[in-house]
């Protein structure tokens, strides 16, 4: 086993089950306290996702066994490896495979993972760029590929993106516009309209439309949609699709349920499908290659929306994120932020 220097102890945000409640706190731990794995990483950036915030605050039972370090994604440098594909010094990324759920995840200065969960940093991306994309960008790319497989193309019309100020929304706008789509950004924060247009949105729509009295079918506006919200927004999107339109259901920040009828599916042949970012390896490698090349967004335009956190600030940030009081893409950054 080849290795470089691994600290004797390091800091992690560790979650425990105490009297039936989740309690998460910063701890100094050792390597042998991490879940088993073939690869030891020094974390550089770990994306903060809605699911992570629910997990560390115990809002939903996500972690399967305690104690656990949450964080469903991480980008870092290999410190120790028993797999020749990932020698020490390699830049790698990890997401999916129950990282931060069944296995210790990214909210730690040092991370240990099974080699089967590790991917080399895609050529064409820096570690920071890969972290900015992370699970949100990969999810948007999965939705885009599904649109393509279903025969929906940019020339067919607008693609709507709800929750446009969040990480998935912002990255979806940047990626879809790079792919030639005209994007309609849907947001409740209309004061961000200019920033969304700068990122690539062709139109910005007030999410308040979804709260107006419902009709069985609305004006046919969109050829496709990526919904990060659920609830009334998803219902409105379904009623607003063109004939043969496709809706990717990705998030549930606005609720787990929605009211609707069968009319969009019958009268306009609308297709609704879900996306989960834990893709099989052929799709994973294919989409990351596209994200590093033809779908690579303009990172200069994305950078104003990227926020760097320290581990000690993560709990307070998570509470704000669940309240909808944050926006953009948040990263726990180990070491100096760029």
- E strand or H helix at 87, and its extent? none
What is the C-alpha to C-alpha distance for residues 99 and 71, in angstroms, rounded to an integer?
7
Cα separations in angstroms, 96 against 20, 172, 187, 233, 307: 26, 19, 28, 27, 22
Are 206 and 326 in the same domain?
no
Owning domain of residue 164 = 136-274
User: What's the total number of domains in the chain?
Assistant: 2
* Cross-strand bridge partners of residue 184: 160, 203
- 175 with 99, same domain: the answer is no
How far, in Å, CA of 50 to CA of 48, rounded? 7
**Strand positions, DSSP E, 212-270:** 222-227, 241-249
Residue 11: both structure tokens together: 């800091």
With H, G, I as helix, E, B as strand and everything else as coil, classify residue 96. coil
Domain boundary among 274, 290, 325: 274
Q: Do 59 and 147 belong together in one domain? A: no
Choosing from 230, 256, 274, the residue where a domain stops is 274
Which of 270, 255, 159 is closest to 205 using CA atoms?
159
Task: State the pLDDT at residue 60.
Answer: 87
CA atoms lying within 13 Å on the CB side of residue 290: 19
pTM over 0.85: yes
Q: Please report the pLDDT score of residue 167 as a whole number.
A: 95
Do residues 112 and 233 share a domain? no
- Cα separation of 181 and 183, whole Å? 6
Dihedral, 122, 125, 128, 130 alpha carbons, nearest 10: -40
Q: What is the CATH number of the domain that holds 309?
A: 3.90.180.10
Domain with residue 259: its CATH number is 3.40.50.720
In a domain, 172, yes or no: yes
Asked if the structure places residue 296 within a domain, the reply is: no
Q: Running along the chain, 338 residues long, what does each successive block of 10 average in pLDDT?
A: 74 95 96 97 96 94 95 97 96 97 98 98 97 98 98 97 95 97 96 96 93 86 96 94 97 82 96 93 97 97 96 97 92 81
pLDDT of residue 336: 66
| Same-domain check for residues 17 and 86 | yes
Closest among 95, 100, 88 to 122, alpha carbons compared? 95
- Measured between alpha carbons, how far is residue 72 from residues 25, 28, 63, 85, 108 in Å? 17, 20, 11, 22, 12
Nearest-angstrom CA–CA distance, 114 and 39: 6
Closest alpha carbon to 73 in 151, 132, 145: 132
Same domain assignment for residues 208 and 78 = no
Q: How far apart are CA 117 and CA 130, in angstroms?
A: 16
134: left (phi over 0), alpha (psi -120 to 50) or beta: left
Q: Do residue 184 and residue 78 come from a single domain?
A: no
Residue 5 has a pLDDT of 85
């Amino acid at each position: 086993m080849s290795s470089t220097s691994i600290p004797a102890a390091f800091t992690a945000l560790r979650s425990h089950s105490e009297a039936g409640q989740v309690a998460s706190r910063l701890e100094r731990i050792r390597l042998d306290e991490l879940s088993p794995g073939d690869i030891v990483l020094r974390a550089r950036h770990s994306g903060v996702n809605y699911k992570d915030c629910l997990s560390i605050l115990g809002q939903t039972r996500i972690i399967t066994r305690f104690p656990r370090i949450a964080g469903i994604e991480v980008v870092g440098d290999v410190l120790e490896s028993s797999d020749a594909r990932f020698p020490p010094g390699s830049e790698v990324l990890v997401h999916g495979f129950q990282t931060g759920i069944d296995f210790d995840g990214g909210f730690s200065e040092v991370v240990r993972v099974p080699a089967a969960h590790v991917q080399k940093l895609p050529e064409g991306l820096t570690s920071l760029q890969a972290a900015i994309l992370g699970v949100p960008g990969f999810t948007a790319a999965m939705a885009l590929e599904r649109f393509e497989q279903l025969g929906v193309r940019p020339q067919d019309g607008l693609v709507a993106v709800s929750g446009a100020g969040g990480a998935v929304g912002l990255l979806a706008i940047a990626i879809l516009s790079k792919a030639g789509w005209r994007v309609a950004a849907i947001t409740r924060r209309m004061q961000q309209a200019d920033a969304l247009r700068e990122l690539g949105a062709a139109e910005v729509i007030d999410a308040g439309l979804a709260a107006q009295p419902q009709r069985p079918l609305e004006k046919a506006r969109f050829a496709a949609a990526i919904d990060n919200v659920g609830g009334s927004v998803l219902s409105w999107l379904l009623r607003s699709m063109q004939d043969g339109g496709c809706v990717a259901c990705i998030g549930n920040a606005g609720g787990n349920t929605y009211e609707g009828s069968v009319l969009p599916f019958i009268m306009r042949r609308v297709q609704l499908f879900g996306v989960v970012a834990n893709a099989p390896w052929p799709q994973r490698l294919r989409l990351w290659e596209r994200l590093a090349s033809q779908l690579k967004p303009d990172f200069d335009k994305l950078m104003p929306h990227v926020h760097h956190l320290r581990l000690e600030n993560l709990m307070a940030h998570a509470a704000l994120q669940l309240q909808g009081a944050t926006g953009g893409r948040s990263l726990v950054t180990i070491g100096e932020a760029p």
